Every structure is written in structure tokens, then in C-alpha cells.
A and B are shown apart, each in its own frame.
Chain A
Amino acid sequence: MKGDKNVNIQALKDMANKLRIDSIVATNASKSGHPTSCASMAEIMSVLFFHTMRYKISAPRDPSSDRFILSKGHAAPILYAAWAEAGLFPVEDLKNLRKFESDLEGHPTPRLSFIDVGTGSLGQGLAVAAGMAYVGKYFDQTPYRVYCLVGDGEAAEGSIWEALHFASHYKLDNLVVIFDVNRLGQSEPTSLQHQMDVYDARLKAFGFHSLVVDGHDVSELIKAFDEAATVTGKPTAVIAKTYKGKGFPNIEDKENWHGKALGAEGEKIIKHLQAQITDGGVSLSARAPTADAPRVHLRDVTLSAPPAYERAQRVATRLAYGTALRKLADTNMRVIALDGDTKNSTFSDKLRNAYPERYVECFIAEQTLVGVAMGAACRQRAIVFASTFAAFFTRTFDQVTSSTSSTSTTSPTSPT
């Protein structure tokens, strides 16, 4: 752990304002987007991407790297800005935001080399992050960490609370959830506004190591993330009190600025932000991962034995599923099964009985079941089978459609 005295606090403050400026420039170029939603998380992004997180610019989806999931996907411009400022692509390219010819889409999709899952349908990112953290802690057993930024607006989604329950139950101490509590939703203030004590009490009740911080104080954020890294046996929630449009005079903390480019105001605000930057040429780089994730082989998976039935037999296809799942698991250590407390009906318990460490009970929380499955499958870490009653996948349709913006637009191909 680096001591604070080694950290250039001013450089991180400058970077936060650069990220704000980048977000204004990009959204003004596209004449649309969410610059005020970016501004509230500028210091969080600066600290995560230029101090806390360990990752590789040369390989944005390297399995050994820390993961960052932007659950509030509408703040995409500042995520793109962070990767550009870290050196992945020219900052100038940010002006192509939302253009048909560019992969810098309105909300993040995995067309981009540094995005694991599509976000933007709110409330979904945390279950995905929990799936990644589960794999990191229990399968990869590699010290990469998972950071998920959740907006306070989307904290009203039930799927967030399902995922918190999952993360806490499985003691995912490699997971940090950052709540960007900027007080304002799209059309009005959020239900809790800046009642930080209420968030804190809820997160503690859910079994999190919870910290309330000033989300615009770089030093406090550094301390919080450092502390999170020392916590064992529970995930950490960093509840950041922030202001929507922070640093934008006459816009900060004001309603009716959600999802609007700043337009003519933008130039004045950029000058205002530039005046606060002490080193305009500030350049910070990513820290490298500390350990390599194990190499895994996920291709050409086969049943350990061919189907073995007599013509006179009568067998339910659900039972044959369990039999086959177990036979796949025999031949590949990374075949895992998830279920929503129906394992003795779907017969996913066949895998659990043979390889209990490769079974993940998601309890009766199907949105989390599918979100965790998506996260566990990311970066080619595992072959994931998630089962429940067919009827109960209907409530996961949002996750299922998001998974399609997490995949290629080409048709699925059969194995050769």
C-alpha cells in the first residue's frame, strides 16, 4: 500500500477537471449526452483510473486486471475520457461520441475493447460485477479487484438490492460498489436525495463495509479505496456524496440539466474548469496488475461419456440436462452451474453433488442469477450454465437483452 505522501493529489484533481472538460467537449460535439452525470463522478474516476486500479492499456480486457463496471451507463463520456487520458486512444477521438461511424456509443457496449458488458438499462451492472468478483475470488483466486459505479437514481431498482445481497452472502471482499449520490435523477430529485445516513444504514444492514465520503475530495476517495483493499470477509460500499454538474457554475446541483449537452454555456464552463487546473499537461498512467490470472481453456468442451440410454427407458429432458452438465464438468474445470434455488427440479444439482465448489446458489433472485452468469462468463473465465424454471426467465428479459449488447452482432456459430 502506498502512503499518501507519495500521491500527487493535485495531479488527480487536475485529471478530474480534465475528465469534466473532455465530457463537455464530447457531449457538445454530439449535441447530446449526460455531462452533468459525468461531472458528479469526475474525482471518483480520476482516483480509480489514475491511482487505485491496476490494469493494462495494452490489453484493456486482460483477465489479470482490475475490472470497472459503469452501471450508470449514461455517464459513458467520462468513462471514455478516462481511457483516452490513460492513453488507449487519442483524446481528440472523444468528439466522435454517439456518431454512427464511431464505437463510442451513447451508452457503453462491448464493441469497445475496454467494455465487458453493455450497460445503460439501469440497475444491472452490480450483479455482473458480483459475477466477476465471484470468479476472481473463488475460481481465479487472483488479486484483481472489481469496481462498480452505481448511480443513486438506479439504486431504486430492486436488482441492485438483489445483487448487494448476493455480494454480501458470498463475502466478496474483492468487490467495491461506489454509490454516486448526486441527489438528482432524470426528472426530479431521487427519493433519498442526500440522506447519506440512510444509504449507510441500508448498506451496513446488507452486510457491507460501508463508508460515506465526500465524493469530490480526492484524498478521502484514496483513503476509502485503500481501506476497502484491507477489508476481508465483506464487500465495501463507498457512498460518495456528490453534486450533479459539479464544477459547472449555475448548473451544479440544479434540476432540469439531466441528459443535456451544455451548448453555448460549455465554452465558459470549460474556461472556468481550466482555470482550476494547475498543470494543463498533467498525464498519469495506469498501474500494472500484481499477479497473473490463471490460463484457462474453454474451447472444445465434450461430455465425459456419450449418452447412455436404452430405447425402453423413459427419461425427462430436465434430468438429462443434469446428467450432461455433470459430464461436461468432468472434462473441464471451468464448467460452472448457477441456479435460483430450483436445483433439485432443474437437476443442476447433479453438478453440485459432484463438484460442490463449482456450483453457485443464487437463491430466488433470477435477475441476479442472469447478471452473475453474465459477469462470470466475461473475459473468457468460465463456461456458465444458469438454470431455473422457464417461467422465471421472463423477469430476466432485461438482463438477457443486455447480454446481447454484450455480444457480437454476428450470428452465433456452431462449433467446428
Chain B
Amino acid sequence: MGAISQSDMNLVGSHCGVSIGEDGPSQMGLEDLALFRAVPTATVFYPSDAVSTERAVELAANTKGICYIRTSRPETAIIYDSDTVFKVGEAKIVRESAQDKVLLIGAGITLHEALAAADDLQKKGVSARVLDPFTVKPLDERAVREHARAAGGRVVVVEDHYQAGGLGEAVLSALAAERDVVVRHLCVRSVPRSGAPAQLVDAFGLSARHVAAAAQELLQL
């Protein structure tokens, strides 16, 4: 006795968050990250473009234990070159400079909002670093800490998910023992409603302007 089996099951949840739009809250996955992050043996992928999604699927097929892949409904830009190599638990820095004053963390559609916010901030003379976690569990905690410090200890994390148990709380856990780091967590804080995807993303505080505003607030501290 004693041999332990490994059930390799891959679950894929589409239509996450308010960004599905018109169908309304009954169709929006807003607790799924909390659910799968709570499971000790789970790996949780939250890819942000088509290239990383394809690699997430390939990695999931080869990863032991339960894998969850969170996919999104809206069309989003391609971020990565086709030959980019992805690993479980390895974040990607999609924008950086030596002058970065704030770290923006997003995934799925909110990574694109973070990139747009970084553009806005740049116009105002503020350089922002942008991190794509790729897997929310395991989160690349080392990268989160390292880049939070490199960006002056200012972090904005934005997710299309309720407050509890998602990417934001994963980031907060990673930074819990860091001195001199402050975090603003943008997420869906009330029960959503029907509307156009972009309208909802903005109304629930996840759009680029909210991300940029949160970064500016941190710079005032």
C-alpha cells in the first residue's frame, strides 16, 4: 500500500468576470479563482493573450494534479512572440525601465488595462512596470517581491474577479512580510449587472483610467 495516484484533470472556465458584458452576473465567473486557489493540489493558469493561452494548455496537459485555466470572452491584443517560453510559476515582465515608480499587475483582460494605464502614466512622466503572473497558483512570489521593490514599493493589482481569494489577495499574501510596500487592489466589489463589456470594466473600476488613478494616488503617499 501507499502508492499515491495522480488524477490529471484539466478544467477550463471561460466567460470570467464582468467583461463578458450583456449576459449579466449569473453568467460571470467572479469566484472561480478563489475556488481553485483554495485547492491544495491545483495549478491555476490565467493567461492574458492567445500565445500564452496555447502554452498554458500545453503545460496543463503535462502537469500533475488538477489544473484550472481561466479564459476570457473579449478579444485582446497579442502580447508575446510565438516562440516565448512559459513555465508554471514564472511571471513575465511585459514592460519595464530603470525609472519605474510603480508596479502594475493584471491578468486576462486587466493586463491589457494595465498596459494602457502604463501608456497614460508615461505621458504624465511616470514610468510603470507591468507584470503578467501567467499562473495565479503557484504565483511567482519572488518576481512580485523583486519587482515591487524595484518599482519603489508601489503596487497596483487589478483583476476581473471579486475581492476575496483572487489574484489581488495572492499578491497581498506574497507581499505580507515586505517592509515599505503599499498595494492598491482593484477588483469587482459589488454584484455586477448587464451592460457592454467596456462599460462594465470601467463602471466596476477595472479600466485603464482607474489603474492609472490608483497609481497616481500611491505616488502621492
A residues lining the B interface (CB < 8 Å) = 61, 88-89, 103, 110-113, 115-117, 298-303, 306-321, 323-325, 327-328, 332, 335, 342, 345-348, 370, 373-374, 377-378, 380, 383-394, 397, 400-401, 403-404, 406-415
Contacts and interface: CB of A to CB of B under 8 A. Distances in A.
The winner among B4, B28, B74, B77 for most chain A CB atoms within 10 A is B4
B122 interface: no
B65 interface: yes
Contacts of B7: 110, 117, 374, 377-378, 403, 406-407
B162 to A, nearest CB: 12
The 6 closest A-B pairs by CB, nearest first: A390-B29, A390-B13, A320-B50, A415-B62, A324-B57, A412-B65
A373 B9 contact: yes
Interface residues of B, number: 68
Contacts of A328: 57-58, 61
Given A386-B12, A404-B41, A404-B66, A111 B50 contact: no
Contacts of A324: 53-58
Contacts of B108: 317
A408 B54 contact: no
Nearest to A396: B11
Contacts of B50: 307, 309, 313, 315-317, 319-320, 323
B184 to A, nearest CB: 25
A44 B71 CA distance: 46
Contact of B3 (A113, A325, A347, A415): A113
Contact of A408 (B9, B59, B64, B70): B64
The winner among B10, B29, B51, B75 for most chain A CB atoms within 10 A is B10
5 contacts: A309-B82, A315-B50, A315-B76, A407-B66, A414-B88
Contacts, number: 242
Given A308-B82, A393-B32, A386 B43 contact: no
A377 B65 CA distance: 11
Contacts of A378: 5, 7
B40 A404 contact: yes
Contacts of B89: 414
B35 interface: yes
B65 A387 contact: no
Contact of B4 (A110, A323, A377): A110
B78 A315 contact: yes
Contact of A321 (B3, B4, B6, B71): B71
B59 A414 contact: yes
Contacts of B13: 387-393
B156 interface: no
Nearest to A370: B11
A370 B12 CA distance: 11
A318 B109 CA distance: 12
B53 A321 contact: yes
A116 B71 CA distance: 30
A310 B78 contact: yes
A321 B63 CA distance: 16
B69 interface: yes
Given A393-B11, A393-B32, A318 B78 contact: no
Contacts of A414: 59, 62-63, 87-89
Nearest to A110: B5
B2 A103 contact: yes
A385 B29 CA distance: 18
B15 A391 contact: yes
B168 interface: no
